[in-house]
Structures are given as C-alpha cells and as structure tokens.
Amino acid sequence: MNTSILETIRPAGMTRRQFIKSIIAAGVVSSSALLYSNPVGAAPKTSHGAVERLITLNVNGQQRRVDVLPQETLAQTLRNKLGLMGLKIACDRGECGACTILVDNVPHYSCSILTHSVRGKNVLTIEGLARPDNTLHPLQQGVFDEQGFQCGYCAPGFLMSTLGYLKTNPNPNRQELAHGVSGNLCRCQDYDKILTALMRGAEYMRKG
C-alpha cells in the first residue's frame, strides 16, 4: 500500500488501522483539501431573490427538518446543513462518484440532484451503515479487513455504490461488480485492491 498520502493526512495519535476504520465507518478524512478542492465547502450560493424553504427529509432513518434553497444540491444539504461529512464533493459535476448516496436503495451522485427532489424518499449515507452499537456493516467490515483503500477519500462513494449494486445482484462475480462500481473513480488508482475489498464485503453480506 502507498502510505505516503495516508501518513500525510493521518491525525497525530491515531494508529493507521484506527484511521482507516474511521474512514470506512463514517467517511472521515481530516485533511481532504490536500487531495481535492471543495468548491462547495462553504455555504450554498444564493441567487438573487432565492429564499430557503423548510422541508423534511428522511435521512438514515431519521426525519430531518432543514431549510433548503431551491437550487441546493443534496450533497450541499447533507454536508453543510446536516453535518453528514462522509460523502465527499470532489468534481461537483457528476463525474467521480465521491458523493454517492442511496435514494430509495438506488445509488445517486448527490452533487447532481436537488434536495427538493428527494422529499418523501429514503436517503442513506455512509453514516447510516454501521449499527447503533457501532458494529460495522458487513460491507464495511470486508473493506476494513482487506485494507483495500489507500487514502480512503473515495471509499464512502465506492461503498454506497457497491451497496446499491448488491441490492440488484447480491452474488456478483468480480467483473460484474467492477461494472457495478464503474461510476466511481479513485485518484490513488489501486482498483484491483478496491475490488478485492468490495468482493470480500459482498461475501460477508451474503453470510449475514
């Protein structure tokens, strides 16, 4: 594994395994600005005359009330207003998959859908995978056991895409799963190891 990027962003006092586990569990990357720009890290842009409207979203099984602008993307709302920082905004134009979440069990690029459009639907982010007692989801556990990611920035997106794909094909071969997550990109580019980790996670899911 290329440790240079990981070692650059790993917080002092946290072991490498602890750091990787935190990424897999909640998508936390402490210094993501080292890897990607985040053009929407600040508050959403406002257009002249646009006003926020209070809506209710179902996110990770909870009803969340939030003020939303008409042009606000789901990625902006989840990260900036609901504090769900696991999804990442990298390209912000539907090309990389770092922002992938599930809407009614289907993977979506959250940077490319408007928050208003998911009212009445079930939104699932990486934070919603682990159990209340912090036991990792089987897919997360498989990825953790295989240590498939390098810096981990893309991991939440890959995990959510995989989870969505496995709902349609629970027992994929390697080629099928590769196709299933082909909408996700990794800058560290060790796709072979990522795929091995995701296949292990799929295996754990089948075993329950």
Which listed residue (22, 40, 52, 94) binds ligand FES by CB under 6 A? 94
Tell me the per-residue interface mask from 51 to 90 with ligand FES, x by CB under 6 A, - otherwise. --------------------------------------xx
What residue type is assigned to position 157 of the chain? G
Of 207, 200, 199, the residue nearest 178 (C-alpha): 199
Per CB under 6 A, 24 contacts ligand FES: no
Per CB under 6 A, 192 contacts ligand FES: no
Per CB under 6 A, 95 contacts ligand FES: yes
Specify the residue, 95 or 104, whose C-beta has the smaller distance to ligand FES. 95
For the CB of residue 121, give the shortest distance to ligand FES in the complex, in Å.
18
For the CB of residue 183, give the shortest distance to ligand FES in the complex, in Å.
8
What residue type is assigned to position 6 of the chain? L
Instruction: Using the CB atoms, write b or e for 29-58: b if 16+ within 10 Å.
Output: beebeebbeeebeeebeeeeeeeeeebebb
Alpha-carbon distance 199 to 146, whole Å? 10
Neighbours of 91 (CB within 10 A): 18
Alpha-carbon distance 123 to 107, whole Å? 10
Per CB under 6 A, 153 contacts ligand FES: yes
For the CB of residue 207, give the shortest distance to ligand FES in the complex, in Å.
26
- Which residues of the shown chain bind ligand FES in the complex (CB under 6 A)? 89-92, 94-99, 109, 111, 149-154, 186-188
